A and B are shown apart, each in its own frame.
Chain A
């Protein structure tokens, strides 16, 4: 995106932001509101057909699922893409706890492929190390996550849980001209605040790192972005996971951030 497009984008989003104000939760959904306004009556007859159709679909689905379970005990296939958790909750008031500051990484191999690492004491999780030869960075991945597609905006890889809800993306890309941890942190903070609720930002100028965190989808998901900004490259560690799974995922985030090894700065 060039400067002109950025100007257009900023102008449009500023205008929208000014009009809509700060993010708010949706009003209670009222399925009768629009239908009543359009035709002013006969709601029962309008509802009967879609309700019957929906009921038929659900009944068939429930019946089929029960039959399959009873006959074969086969494991259901998890969705491939993240979906919201089963019980959406309003965005909690507390901020997402930032992970511990960087600590000396454990001894890991830097082979181009993944290699197993001893289980973490904190999480009892077995970790593998992802190493990117092109940019020279490495990151640890919980064994529970499996490799998915590469990110669209850089070199790296996305790892997902089997249920598709939790993601860890490790990536690197060329640093924009003049990029600093402050400017990149501000950019990611702006992006997150547009998509959800920004709850935490931090920039460490000395370490050239920034941290941005917040909630997506009405508080049902946490997004955590850790960036390291070098003169040539930006290294990113991005986590997305359901709020309901924070007890597990927060520990993963802390470990992965503490052991994240950027390439040349």
Chain B
């Protein structure tokens, strides 16, 4: 700790005294005295001279990482069986709440869910009351009603003082969901506008194309890419009512709370708001099947034509893994090395060495039933072929060679030391609280996270790379000007290039 203070002081003193000039000798002399216990060479160990800037060549040593202790989770159960999870934090008078039911798009098309939840928020909960959104507005509460791949629910951002009335409003809404014509109409318009805006983003279109390439037409994880505009218009009120009946149920519901509350004061308020919630007893369905590798007779290269665009979005994609897989930690470390940061292998190669891109990376989703592993980004429009070859080469290296010890150590260190930052805001804390029940993980997963990453070895990374990123599992997806890109894709010899139009309706396909 002492060294950090000295380094900061030196830097600030130097700049303060003489702008960009080197710090004075007298300022630097303060270093060795305080830093004498540090074993590594440091700024202060460099011979002092007012004429040299050699001190800049040695990075300051970091202090030893402190062990992170995750916040404790208090648990309770309401009289109707709803589980309550609470993480207390009292430094600010804020409380976030998430009510989630463990039935999402994995058993109903996502496009119905998001429209249904948006319509609920925009409708009058009874003839006399304002719309739900207006009720939350009048409490100065930020509320969102959402439907995701593996769950559905409502999230509130409150102050401590308006928590109780906000819970009453959301409790009534979820127990007695009602929509009206105006609310549904407004939700349709908002969803259509949002979809139209997304269609203008090449990154969105590329994301939809990845889903189209990986999943069959009716797969729940194919999400919004199919017939979105048409669905928004034709979904009927009766279908939405069925969605509420099958999804908004207290069975398998979880209420997560984080912030300025205690269980002693919270539980009676939650009991009053949600304790009378009854609904059809539903078993949580088995997770959807993961995307599968392409068969020999199936296309492996896909292209979305966007004439005249300035860049080409490229991706090498593969089915990933469920969040609950024992391979998740190794896959996360692998991903960090391959493309998870600006200094990762693919970005170093394509950006720093080849100058093909402003930035590329890799990421994977891991839901109950798996997800998508994507390696790519936006590259110079006529360099897609070269860029994809380099991506494939980097993926191949992960399989063929063990990662270097320094790469492995840096990746693990980044993940372990970055983990506490996910507890920084109530919004991310709430998300973390919900992750365990939604993804069927043990509730103590926070406590083992650092050890999980720490135990990953180079051998294990090679094994996981071979398991998930071998060439037989890969597909190539590009969004760009077909006149420029198509030949490039064909030259890769990944079979015939299949054209996609992910934002079109089935009638246009």
Are A and B physically bound partners?
Answer: no
